[in-house]
Structure formats: C-alpha cells, structure tokens
Amino acid sequence: MARLILFNKPHGVLSQFTDERSGRPTLADHIDLPGVYPAGRLDRDSEGLLLLTDDGQLQARIADPKFKKPKTYLVQIEGVPDEAALNTLAQGLTLKDGPTRPATVRRIDAPDLWPRVPPVRYRKTVPDAWIELTITEGRNRQVRRMTAHVGHPTLRLVRWRIGDWSLDGIAPGKWRNA
C-alpha cells in the first residue's frame, strides 16, 4: 500500500531532502522516513501543504498538471484588490510562459495562522489583504507571478489544500499520514 505524508512546510525550508549548499534547511530536517519523495514543490519562500509519497504513480497523479488537481492557497497580498483584479485572476491571464487556466479566487478575512518566521514586512503606508486562490496547474512561482501581474505582489503564501488533502491540524514543521 502506498504511503502518503501530509507535511506543513515552514517558510525557508527547501522542498527536497538534500542541498548542494550547506546550511539551508531541507525536508531531512523534519522528516526521517526512507523512500518518500515530494509530489510537487513549494518555493523556499512559501509555506504549507507538501505531499510526500513512496508511490511514483501517485506522485505523478498529484504533481502532473494534466490531472488538474486543485491547489488552494491563502495569499497575503500588497494592496487591496478590486473586482477587476479578482476577475482577471479568475478568468486566467497571460504570463511570460503562456496563459494560465481559469482560477477560483475570493477575498477573505485574515486567516488564523501561525506566526511566520521571519515575519512578513509591515508598511504603515501600504495596506494588505488576503485572498484564497485555487489553481489547477502549478508552474514555477505561478501564484506569485499571477498576483504581481494584477498589481498586488504576494507577501505571504500558504498552500492550504491539494485535492481532498488539507493542512487542518498540522503545525509548521510537522507531518502526519494521510
């Protein structure tokens, strides 16, 4: 039977078990299980749900964009988006590597999350807002590029859900079996 691990990747941790540079935290600092590998990636600057498995077929079904597995992110952005910005995100937009698929997006109240280390920079003169964004692809830094494209750079990015799997009840740096 395939093993599936749900891990809450902290900010600053690489989505791999080894690093050619020394001193950067990796998955090996949090998970001591032989034979499991990430199904997809999260940037070092991003936090949240990372799935790991020992089953190559399951890994492909989770990570490959052709399966259109929805991924939901809680995103703190600079500025307060208007309806036009939200509609552009929802309809899909064209990035340097081509058009994105339509997304589901809505403004949300600030979620009750753990403190980020290091904290997100705070600027008195620039408001921020939170959105929930669900995409069905996972290009390199896609969510960050999408929010920047509509004039609202990402300040904090937390992947909360992949398909039916959620981060509910998993503290940063901790994992559990699915």
H helical segments located in 43-157: 56-63, 83-91, 142-149
- Digitized pLDDT (tens) for each residue of the chain, 178 residues in all: 889 999 999 999 999 999 988 789 999 999 999 999 999 899 999 999 999 999 999 998 888 878 889 999 999 999 999 999 999 999 999 999 999 999 999 999 999 999 998 888 888 888 999 999 999 998 899 999 999 999 999 999 999 999 999 999 999 999 999 9
> Does residue 108 contact residue 131 with C-beta atoms inside 8 Å?
yes
**9 forms bridges with which residues in the sheet?**
48
Measured distance CA(150)–CA(131) in Å, rounded: 13
Question: What are the tokens at 1?
Answer: 């039977």
Residue 54 DSSP code: S
Active-site option among 32, 43, 64, 97: 43
Phi first, then psi, for residue 147 (nearest 5°) are -65, -35
Q: Please give the domain boundaries of the chain with CATH numbers for all domains.
A: 4-64+165-177 (3.30.70.580), 70-162 (3.30.70.1560)
Question: Rg of the chain's alpha carbons, rounded to an integer?
Answer: 16
Q: Where are the alpha helices (DSSP H) in 92-176?
A: 142-149
What is the rounded CA–CA span in Å between residue 44 and residue 26? 9
User: Does the annotation mark 97 as catalytic?
Assistant: no
Residue with tokens 């600057």, as numbered in its chain: 45
What is the value of pTM for the model shown?
0.95
Contact 165, 70 (CB under 8 A): no
In angstroms, the CA 119 to CA 51 distance is 25
Q: How far apart are CA 145 and CA 151, in angstroms?
A: 10
